[in-house]
């Protein structure tokens, strides 16, 4: 009798182990998610939050009216009320033109402030670095302006995935944020 119980228990353990291995192998490539990070000039910082300051009214554009919203991606150590940032760390701030007061899904292209405005364009953008030394001598807060780039936004309910790739004063910028975004009207 003990042999039958031991044999049945061994089969159950082997079956459970095989199921766990199958589940783990099945998730290896499919569930890989990007970390919320800002990578600028080879230096990486974790991003903690996204914030959208949305326009109360539409502005005239080339083809149609648009909303001029401001998107901020903040690293750990920074907070904002939508008008000022407090703390010390790194951030990305972009002026974006959207069809709605929300962060519309799609691809936004950096155009520079001198061009006519349309939805899905970014006329201005900056990167704030604090505690990320990009030169041999340490500095305080550094501000860099965008010179080229794109931002891709996808959305599922309240969850956003934001990917930014660009050039900021000749240096490479890559950023990714996945999560819920805080929104507030710009007064």
Our CA angle for 160, 51, 114, nearest 5°, is 100
pLDDT of residue 4: 53
Residue linked to tokens 């990007």: 34
pLDDT of residue 181: 93
Contact 178, 33 (CB under 8 A): yes
pLDDT of residue 25: 44
The Cβ of residue 109 has, within 10 Å, a number of other Cβ atoms equal to 13
Q: Which long-range contacts (CB under 8 A, 24 or more apart) does 76-80 make?
A: 76/45, 76/46, 76/48, 77/130, 77/131, 78/48, 79/49, 80/51
Q: Which residue has the higher pLDDT, 26 or 39?
A: 39
Confirm whether pTM is higher than 0.85: no
For residue range 36-84, what is the model confidence (pLDDT) as tens digits? 999 998 888 899 999 999 988 998 887 788 999 999 999 887 777 766 7
The Cβ of residue 142 has, within 10 Å, a number of other Cβ atoms equal to 16
pLDDT of residue 83: 66
Residues 145, 169: Cα–Cα separation, whole Å: 6
Dihedral sign from CA coordinates of 125, 96, 130, 86: positive
Q: Which residue has the higher pLDDT, 30 or 185?
A: 185
Q: What is the pLDDT of the chain when averaged over all its residues?
A: 79
Three-state SS at 76: coil
Residues 124, 94: Cα–Cα separation, whole Å: 6
* 174 has pLDDT over 50: yes
pLDDT of residue 141: 77
Domain ranges of the chain: 1-32, 33-185
């Amino acid at each position: 009798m003990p042999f039958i119980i031991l044999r049945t228990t061994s089969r159950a353990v082997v079956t459970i182990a095989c199921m766990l291995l199958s589940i783990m192998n099945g998730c290896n490539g499919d569930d890989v998610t990007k970390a919320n990070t800002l990578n600028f000039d080879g230096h990486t910082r974790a991003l903690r939050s996204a914030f959208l300051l949305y326009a109360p009214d539409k502005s005239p554009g080339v083809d149609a009216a648009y909303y001029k919203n401001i998107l901020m991606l903040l690293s750990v150590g920074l907070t904002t009320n939508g008008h000022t940032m407090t703390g010390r760390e790194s951030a990305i701030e972009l002026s974006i033109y959207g069809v709605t007061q929300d962060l519309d899904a799609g691809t936004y292209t950096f155009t520079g402030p001198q061009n006519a405005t349309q939805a899905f364009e970014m006329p201005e953008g900056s990167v704030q670095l604090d505690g990320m030394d990009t030169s041999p001598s340490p500095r305080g807060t550094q501000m860099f302006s965008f010179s080229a780039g794109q931002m891709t936004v996808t959305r599922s309910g309240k969850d956003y995935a934001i990917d930014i790739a660009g050039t900021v004063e000749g240096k490479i910028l890559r950023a990714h944020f996945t999560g819920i975004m805080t929104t507030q009207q710009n007064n």
